A and B are shown apart, each in its own frame.
Chain A
């Protein structure tokens, strides 16, 4: 069966520091991969999605970036965090019109 992992589970970072969140998927090949951010009371916002290695589409202009160095690995990064980057970050993998979510990373920027 398919499994999706995210780490770290929680992270507290100062403003201006870099960020790296990792997502890996097991049990499937060539999945579509997604990064969402969930801010309090605002639902899920799609940040990036990828249909293959090295193929990244950005949905929202921001100081975040994403990379897909391997088929089942998706990384969310920032060079300098802003206070507004705080939130709950969810990775998902998708196939055949369905998406399955990881456990999420709670990021607090102080």
Chain B
């Protein structure tokens, strides 16, 4: 069965520092992979997605993610974090055979110190 693991529940970084949020998935075929961001009390916004092709994908707000099949990972990165990036981040996987559904990780809460 598909699953998504976000091993870091809470991460704290200083403003201007680099960021990497980890995501590992379990799926037998090539998955569709997504990162979403959720500000407090708000819905989720799509940051970026990977379907196929170039394994390094660029998203909104300066984020990027790299798909590594050998490690079953899809880590989210940003070279310099801004205070407004403080939020909760969710990784999700969709099955290529049933693209109607997404399986979400439990999320990583990012705190940014000035």
Contacts and interface: CB of A to CB of B under 8 A. Distances in A.
Interface residues of B, number: 22
User: How many interface residues does chain A have, given as a range?
Assistant: 20 to 34
A92 B92 CA distance: 14
A101 B41 CA distance: 13
18 contacts: A41-B9, A41-B106, A43-B104, A44-B104, A46-B101, A46-B102, A49-B100, A90-B43, A94-B100, A96-B99, A98-B49, A99-B102, A102-B43, A103-B42, A103-B43, A104-B41, A104-B42, A106-B41
B41 A43 contact: no
A106 B104 CA distance: 19
Contact of A32 (B34, B41, B45, B100): B100
A44 B90 contact: yes
Interface of A: 4, 32, 41-44, 46, 49, 51, 90, 92, 94, 96-104, 106
A26 to B, nearest CB: 15
Contacts of A96: 99
B32 interface: yes
A41 B101 CA distance: 21
Interface string B23-53: 0000000001010100001111110010100
